[in-house]
Structures are given as structure tokens and as C-alpha cells.
Structure 1
Amino acid sequence: MSLKDDLKGIIPEKELEILPNRFDIIGDIAVVSIPDELVLYKEDIASAIMGKMQNIRNVLNKVSKLEGNRRVADLEIIAGNSTETIHKEFGFSYKIDLRESFFNGRLSYERKRVASLVNAGEKVLVPFSGVGPFAIPAAKSADYVVAVEMNGAACKSFTKNCKLNKLENKIHIINADANSIPNLLKTEFERAIIPTPYGMDRFLKTISPLVKPGGFIHFYTFKPKEEIKELIGKYEDMGFEVLFHRRCGNVAPGISRWVFDLKK
């Protein structure tokens, strides 16, 4: 049964139509976006989620989109008493406070996929690293990982997560704006993983000079499906071989997140 099915008879049918049927699960926290028209039913929605998912101890309502340089949303606790959790995926653990740091639980498969491509001995660069969900799995195989993150709170959690996963000796965290990477780093890398925020495609050109010829870039962008063919041509014109691409979920009507595996 869906969340909407669970709430039939509690929320009027007309209002129920606008309730999102999906919610994000991060550790023992569920994050839902409740439309303004349904705020009177937020406790009922939280109860339905916790009844459906026995491992959920806290339910948060995302009352704003990602905002500011820290890329965090405004979250309201509607069940439970915490925005902190430990999220586990594919053998790795991430401690995070969702009010302080961004985390996308829907990219777990991508994190596993990309980490599986990292070869022993590689030096890997990860801008927009957050609390470490791309960098930590990559570090398992890599020689070392350099991760850059602007959000100081995320860097503190990331440092704890390196210790939690026993990889603190293989990851160097830099608390800085990704725009400053060319001035901060002179090392060349065999691989870069770029989980680019919305509207920041320029970072492909920013990071590319730091990747060795023959090296790899995993680049994430937000585009409608009809632009993908043209985008592949653009990347080829930039000197990349497009090895693979796939859609990684919808983010808005007609707009999806896409990943491109590029060889320089």
C-alpha cells in the first residue's frame, strides 16, 4: 500500500491528490515535502510514515528548497526529536545532521557504482564532497582522495565519518569554495567525481585541467532528456570520450539528474 492509501479517510480525497507519495529515508529519518495545503495533517502524515516504516524514529518536513552556500533546506521536526542520524549503505556509515549538511539518499547506487570503478593506486578528487558519501567509498580502493567542501559543518561530520569508516589516513579534506580548487591544488588526479549542484555545469571546465590525460571524470548535471544527445556532442568537442551515461532520477517536472562517465 502507498502512503496515500494509508491516509485515505484521514485526509479528504481532493487534498490527498497533492500529497507526494515518495519520501526520502536517511538513516532513521524520513524527509517529506508537505504542501502548504496539507499542513494541518502533518502529524497524521508523520504517523502514517512511522507506521509503514518501523525503523523510522524521526520525520522531518522540508519547508524550503536547498538554500545558501551550505546547500541545506529548512527542516521542521514533525515526529521524533532529532535531525541527527547515522545512515548506512553498502558497508559504509555516515553520521549527519540534516539541518547542517546536505545528503542525498537516492544516490546510493551511484556511489557504489562509481566506487567500483576506482582502481588501486589512483589519486581521486571530489569537489562538493558533503559529509563524504562519494569520497569514502572511493578511498577504499584509491591511493588517496582529496575532498573539497565549502560547508564547515559538513567538513566536521566528514572528518568523523572518515574515522568511523577507518579511512582517515587516505582522505584529505579541504574546507573551501570549489571555485578556488585550481589555485589550491597543483596535483594531477587519475579520477574526479563531481556531484555538481544545480546550475553549476561550469565546474567541468574548472576541474578538467586537474585530471591527467587518459583519466576519468564522473560528472553529474541536471537536464531534460531531449538535451542529452547535444550534450554528448558538446563533451566530445571538449576532448572527452563519453563512456557511459544514465539518468539518476527526476528532480523537477521534465528535469532529471544525469551522470556522464568521461575519459579525458
Structure 2
Amino acid sequence: MQLSKVLREVIPKSLHHLIPDRFEVIGDIAILSIPDELSQYQTTIAKALISQRRSITTVLRRVSKMGGTCRIAGYQPIIGTKTRTLYKESGFRYRVDLSHAFFTSRLAGERQRISGVIRPGELVLVPFAGVGPFVIPVAARGAQVIAIEINPDACLLLRENIRLNHLEDRVAIIMGDASLACRMLKIMSDRAIIPTPYGLDETLIPLSRMVREGGSIHFYTFDNRDGAQERANILSQSGFNVDRFHRCGNVAPSVSRWVYDLTIR
């Protein structure tokens, strides 16, 4: 759906190029990024979105980027006030509260891809676990999962989501700093899934020490296209086989999220 087409008779033509056609839907909550020039039209924009997507009951405007240790963005309610919702993905259910824990629906394809390579019985490490979008499908495939998350509110939601999906016997939750995990845990996992927050790429090396030789790592980070290729070259010289890497979403005009599938040499 293109909001610019729906709103072209309502908003002045000089502002059409600013109308946000991209938005994120999580459960029955829609999240919009609206430039300041369109602030006076934000309710009009939100109503237009709801008119096209009847399942949406709340529209939030993102007013600040993710920040702080717990990676929480700021939102301004436009229509509705709630930030807690039930999100469904690939047959799993997740309780999400955007005011207390980070969550994005934009990695749904990646989460399905990764769960598809899991073998029953694997021990899988998931740092920066959040409310569990990587944890739940991997555990459902028969893996034993160690999930690490520093945000206490996210840990509570993760525990709730484990119960909601009946996976209590397959997931252990550790509330703590994932960058210090190698000091806290003396384990060797078969695989690590690392959805790295922006600016924490240095955690890859200490976390990789918790994966056995021949084990796999799925490392998510942010870069431009040239930087992504350069990173692949550096990783291949740093004890990893780079089996593949690909872009999995834009986050800014020149910055994308990338995933590297690595094998420990």
C-alpha cells in the first residue's frame, strides 16, 4: 500500500515526496517515521493507514532512534496509546511491548531461514535475544538454546513467549551482558545466532570463542555495500570461513543490515 497515493488529494503537492510509504506493522500496532514537515498531518496520515489496514488499532510515530543499554526507541502515540501487542510469525506467537523492549518484524525471513538449518539436538547460543524471535523457532526445531539478554523487561517477555509456545524445556535464559558471556559461561555451542545491536560488532570475537571448531555463526551487523565486502575479507583472515553473506534490509539511505554465515576454523 502506498500512502502517498491515498493522501495525494489531502496533503499539499509540495510535500508529497515526504509522505512515508514505508511503515512497520507489529501485531495490531503500526509504526511510522514522519518528518517534521508533516507533523500537522500526522493524524491524517495515521487515519489513512488504518483505512487501508483494518487490523491496525494503534499508530505510533517513531520520535527517537534506539538508545541506551536496553535498545529502546521513543514513540509518540498518534491513534491509540498501547505499546503492547501479540505478534504472530511462522506459526509462533510473541508478546511484544515496544516501550520496554526492542522488536522488529523485518527479520522474519531471516528467522525462518536460520531455523531451517537447525538440526535437532544442537546447542545454540543466542546473545542479544530480546523477546525471543530467533530463540523460539530454533528451539521448536529441537535445539537446546541459551538465550542472553541484558534488558530485564525483555527477559520477562521472553519467558512469557517461551511459555506461550510451550518450549520451557528447551530454553535457558541468562539476564546479563552478552559481551561478557564468555566469562560467565563455560560452554562450547554448536551454533551462535548473533543479532548484533548497532555499534557492538566487537562482541563477535569473544562470543565466537563459545562455538566449537567447525561450528556455525550467523552474525548480523550494519554496513554499506563496500564495507560489507571489506568485512567479509577481514573475517576470512580472522579464523572464520565466510560461507555466504547477504543484505537483509535497509536501515538508512546508505546503510543496510547484513548477515554473515560463518564457520569456525
**What interval of TM-score do these two structures reach, taking the shorter chain for normalisation?**
over 0.9
Partner of 2:190 in structure 1? 190
The 8 Å contact of residues 120 and 143 in structure 1, kept in 2 or not, is answered as yes
What's the counterpart of residue 228 of structure 2? 228
TM-score normalised by the chain length of structure 2 = 0.97
**2:72 and 2:98 in contact (8 A); partners too:** yes
Quick one: which amino acid aligns to residue 8 of structure 2? K
Query: Within 1, Cα distance between the matches of 2:255 and 2:53?
Result: 29
Equivalent in the alignment of 1:114: 114
Alignment of 1:168-183 (within 5 A): 168-183=168-183
Asked if 1:209 is matched to 2:209, the reply is: yes
Matches within 5 A, 1:66-215: 66-215=66-215
What is aligned with 1:34? 34
Alignment check: 8 A CA contact 2:179 2:207 kept = no
Q: Specify every segment of 5 or more residues in structure 1 that has no aligned partner in the other structure, as ranges.
A: none
Separation in structure 2 between the aligned mates of residue 51 and residue 223 of structure 1, nearest angstrom: 36
| Cα displacement (A) at 1:242 | 1.1
Determine which structure has the larger strand proportion and give its number: 2
Deviation digits for residues 26-51 of structure 1 (CA, Å, limit 9, x no counterpart): 01110001111111111101101101
2: CA distance between counterparts of 1:13 and 1:100?
38
Gapped runs of 5+ residues in structure 2?
none
Q: Which moved more, 1:225-234 or 1:47-56?
A: 225-234
Deviates most, 123-132 or 14-23: 14-23
Give me the whole-angstrom Cα distance separating, in 2, the residues matched to 1:227 and 1:65.
Answer: 22
C-alpha RMSD of the superposition: 1.0
In structure 1, give the amino acid aligned to 2:44: D
Q: Structure 1 residue 19: deviation in Å?
A: 2.2
Tell me, what secondary structure is at the counterpart of 1:153? helix
Q: C-alpha distance in 2, partners of 1:202/1:81?
A: 37
SS state at 2:207 partner: helix
Partner of 1:53: 53
Contact 1:149 1:175 in 2 (8 A): yes
Query: Structure 2 CA distance, aligned partners of 1:28 and 1:164?
Result: 18
Distance, in Å, in 2 between the alignment partners of 1:81 and 1:230 is 44
Deviation by residue 1:198-230 (Cα, 9 ceiling, x = unmatched): 121111101011000010000011111012322
Give CA deviations for 1:108-156 in whole Å, capped at 9, x if unaligned: 0000101111111100000100000001111112431001111111110
Amino acid at match of 2:147: A
Q: How many matched pairs?
A: 264
Runs of at least 4 residues off by over 4 Å? none
Structure 2: how far apart are the matches of 1:180 and 1:232? 25
Q: Given that residues 123 and 142 in structure 1 are in contact (C-alpha distance below 8 angstroms), is that contact kept between their aligned partners in structure 2?
A: no
In 2, distance between residues paired with 1:51 and 1:29?
14
Q: Which one-letter code corresponds to 1:24 in the other structure?
A: E
Q: 2:202 & 2:24 partners in 1: Cα distance?
A: 29
The structural deviation recorded for 1:16 is: 2.4
Structure 2 letter corresponding to 1:90: S
Identity %: 45
Residue deviations 1:145-182 (CA, integer Å, cap 9, x gap): 00111111111010000000001111111111112201
After superposition, the C-alpha distances for 1:39-87 in whole angstroms (9 at most, x for unaligned) are 1111101101101111111111111110111111111111123111111
User: Alignment partner of 1:130: what SS?
Assistant: coil
Contact 1:6–1:48 (8 Å) recurs in 2? yes
Distance in 2 (alpha carbons) for counterparts of 1:41 and 1:230: 43
Contact 2:126 2:194 survives alignment (8 Å) = yes
Residue 11 of structure 1, CA deviation: 1.3
Q: Measure the CA separation in 1 of the matches of 2:249 and 2:40.
A: 30
SS in 2 for 1:148: strand
Q: Aligned partners of 2:67 and 2:86: how far apart in 1?
A: 23
